[in-house]
Amino acid sequence: MSRQANRGTESKKMSSELFTLTYGALVTQLCKDYENDEDVNKQLDKMGYNIGVRLIEDFLARSNVGRCHDFRETADVIAKVAFKMYLGITPSITNWSPAGDEFSLILENNPLVDFVELPDNHSSLIYSNLLCGVLRGALEMVQMAVDVKFVQDTLKGDGVTEIRMRFIKRIEDNLPAGEE
Amino acid sequence: PALGESFSFLHSSFISSFWGGGRNSLTVLEGMGFRVGQGLAERLPRGALAFREELDTIKFLCRDLWGAVFRKQTDNLRTNHQGTYVLQDNNFPLLTQMAWGQQYLEETPKFLAFTCGLLRGTLSALGIESSVTASVASLPACKFQVVIQKA
């Protein structure tokens, strides 16, 4: 009997559930600590940002991805490498703006919300807002200022979860005059 | 394997977020771990939980729970056969991150509180009430002491 194989799948499932449950415990605790959903959203974003600025180093070290030349490359790396590496999913990239400075990530399933239901009195809560902060923080460390927000959420009854990313500007290093 | 790293990042962010703030943050962290442990155990298939003895349940923690959360097993398990168990991990993943900053041994409790709760919560959902404490002799090795509460 393949006890080993069973244990492997069981372990993977437990690992996935652990992650979802842990994220859920975080959101629950924040809802206790903060009076309104807006404050919870801000705190999730802030925590996500702090994760992002450290996560990028881990990502660059483990992925061997080189410098991205434009926002389209960045989008590809985010969806196909980063999301896969940290959440085990590959969102699709759609809805590019004509200027090429905005796109959407469509997540058909979101590991953060696998068996979660939003309680009734938290309609303004952006449950997965941590993700927006993570993306923003990570990209800031590679000199990109972006705006990231959820525009659709399966938790709120939408068919898919959609994250909109907008490139704001390149963050220039301030080098003294006379240097390259 | 992806989610193991992500759990680690999430866990570190708790430590910074729930530290300070004038209330017993260790209790908050332990409480979060407890709820997660309960949730995890409740979602296990019934067949996986048919433990004949208390020791088998503890071994489940050392092998299966540790494997799922930390992608390794505990290094050592000791018991007095009277309801006290000591789980030893010589290279505890949530402590190895402490090498980054200027951390001191006094800071370790906050890195262990969630896991203590996780163990306590898992056991609770399996019908076993316990108290779980952790100690660090030298980084990154630590011990979790589980004391089963008799009815």
pLDDT tens string B71-84: 899 999 999 999 99
Q: Which residue is associated with the tokens 């208390």?
A: B54
Task: Give contacts of B44 with chain A, Cβ < 8 Å.
Answer: 10, 14
Query: What is the structure's pLDDT at B102?
Result: 45
pLDDT digits (tens, 9 = 90+) for A137-169: 999 999 999 999 999 999 888 999 999 999 999
Least Cα distance to B111 among B89, B128, B130, B78 occurs for B89
pLDDT digits (tens, 9 = 90+) for A116-136: 877 778 889 999 999 999 999
pLDDT of B118 above 50: yes
Collapse the DSSP code of A118 into the 3-class scheme (helix H, G, I; strand E, B; otherwise coil) and give the result. coil
Q: What is the average pLDDT across B5-27?
A: 79
pLDDT digits (tens, 9 = 90+) for A52-106: 999 999 999 999 898 888 999 999 999 999 999 999 999 999 999 999 999 999 9
Q: What is the average pLDDT across B93-98?
A: 77
Query: What is the structure's pLDDT at A7?
Result: 64
Q: Which residue is associated with the tokens 């696998």?
A: A114
Question: Which is more confidently placed, B105 or A125?
Answer: A125
Q: Is residue A27 a contact partner of residue A44, using CB atoms and an 8 Å limit? A: yes
The span from the CA of A100 to the CA of A77, in Å, is 16
Do you find a cis peptide bond into B140, omega within 30 degrees of 0?
A: yes
pLDDT of A180 above 90: no
Collapse the DSSP code of A124 into the 3-class scheme (helix H, G, I; strand E, B; otherwise coil) and give the result. coil
The span from the CA of A90 to the CA of A108, in Å, is 9
Pair type for strands B84-89 and B142-148: antiparallel
Residue B40: partners with Cβ closer than 8 Å, 6 or more residues away: A14, A17, A18, A21, B65, B68, B118, B121, B122, B125
Least Cα distance to A114 among A89, A84, A149 occurs for A89
Query: What is the structure's pLDDT at B43?
Result: 87
| Domain map (residue ranges) of chain B | 5-148
Query: What is the structure's pLDDT at A12?
Result: 80
pLDDT of B133 above 60: yes
Query: What is the structure's pLDDT at A48?
Result: 96
Query: What is the structure's pLDDT at B100?
Result: 43
| Cross-chain CB nearest to A19 (options B7, B12, B18) | B7
Query: What is the structure's pLDDT at B96?
Result: 77
Distance of CA B106 to the CA centre of its chain: 18
Query: What is the structure's pLDDT at B4?
Result: 74
Question: Which is more confidently placed, B50 or B131?
Answer: B131
**Closest residue in chain B to residue A116, using alpha carbons only:** B39
**DSSP structure string for B60-120:** HIIIIIHHHHHSS--SEEEE-SSSEEEEEETT-HHHHGGGSS---GGGHHHHHHHHHHHHH
Cβ burial, residue B99 (10 Å; 0-12/13-18/19+): exposed
All domains in chain A, ordered by first residue: 16-170 (3.30.1380.20)
Question: Which is more confidently placed, A174 or A148?
Answer: A148
Residue numbers of A between 71 and 110 with CB closer than 8 Å to B: 84-88
Query: What is the structure's pLDDT at A176?
Result: 55
The span from the CA of A71 to the CA of A73, in Å, is 5
Average pLDDT over chain B, rounded to an integer: 86
Q: What is the average pLDDT across B10-24?
A: 74
pLDDT digits (tens, 9 = 90+) for A6-54: 667 777 888 888 999 999 999 999 998 898 999 999 999 999 999 999 9
Least Cα distance to B128 among B57, B67, B69 occurs for B57
Task: Give contacts of B17 with chain A, Cβ < 8 Å.
Answer: 43, 47
Residue B25: partners with Cβ closer than 8 Å, 6 or more residues away: B18, B19, B110, B113
CATH number of B5-148: 3.30.1380.20
Residue numbers of A between 20 and 39 with CB closer than 8 Å to B: 21-26, 28-29
% of chain A residues with pLDDT over 70: 92
| Cross-chain CB nearest to A14 (options B6, B28, B40) | B40
Helix, strand, coil distribution of chain A in percent, nearest 5: 50, 15, 35
